[in-house]
Structure 1
Amino acid sequence: MRRVTTGLAALLLAGAGLAATLPAGAAVAAGAPATAPAACAADWGSSPKVSTATEYKPLRDIRTGRHDCYDRMVFDILGPDTGAPVGYRVQYVDKLHQDGSGDVIPVGGGAVLEVRVAAPSYDPTTGKPVYDGKAGRPLPGVDVSGYRTFQDTRFAGSFEGDTQVGLGVRGRLPFRVFQQDNHIVVDVAHTWRGFR
Structure 2
Amino acid sequence: MKKLSAWLTAIIIALGLGLLAPGPASATTSYCGLVWSSLAKSNQAMSAPSVTNIRSGQHTCFDRLVIDIKGKAAGYNVRYVSKVVQDGSGLPIKLRGGAFLQVTAHAPSYDSVTGKSTYAPANRSEVTNVSKYKTFRQVAWAGSFEGHTALGLGVRARLPFKVYTLAGPGSGSKLVIDVAHQW
Q: Please indicate the TM-score interval, normalised by the length of the shorter structure.
A: 0.7 to 0.9
Structure number, greater radius of gyration: 2
Give the corresponding residue for 1:189: 180
Give the corresponding residue for 2:88: 100
**CA–CA separation in structure 2 for the residues paired with 1:50 and 1:104:** 22
The code of the aligned residue for 2:110 comes to Y
Preserved CA contact (<8 Å) 1:113 1:167: yes
- Secondary structure in 2 aligned to 1:50? strand
**CA–CA separation in structure 2 for the residues paired with 1:130 and 1:85:** 15
1:131 equivalent to 2:119? Answer yes
- Secondary structure in 2 aligned to 1:43? strand
* CA 39–149 in structure 1, closer or farther in 2 if over 3 Å, else same: closer
Give the corresponding residue for 1:112: 100
1:78 equivalent to 2:66? Answer no
How many residue pairs get matched?
A: 149
Preserved CA contact (<8 Å) 2:141 2:152: yes
Give the corresponding residue for 2:23: none
Preserved CA contact (<8 Å) 2:31 2:182: no
Q: Which runs of 5+ in 1 are unaligned?
A: 1-37
RMSD: 1.6
| Cα displacement (A) at 1:41 | 2.1
Q: Which runs of 5+ in 2 are unaligned?
A: 1-29, 168-172
| Cα displacement (A) at 1:103 | 0.6
**CA–CA separation in structure 1 for the residues paired with 2:56 and 2:122:** 18
1:171 equivalent to 2:162? Answer no
**CA–CA separation in structure 2 for the residues paired with 1:132 and 1:188:** 24
Give the TM-score normalised by structure 1.
0.72
Give the corresponding residue for 2:44: 52
Preserved CA contact (<8 Å) 2:159 2:179: yes
Preserved CA contact (<8 Å) 1:134 1:156: no
Deviations 1:25-56 (A, max 9, x none): xxxxxxxxxxxxx8712221000011111232
| Cα displacement (A) at 1:177 | 0.3
**CA–CA separation in structure 2 for the residues paired with 1:119 and 1:85:** 8
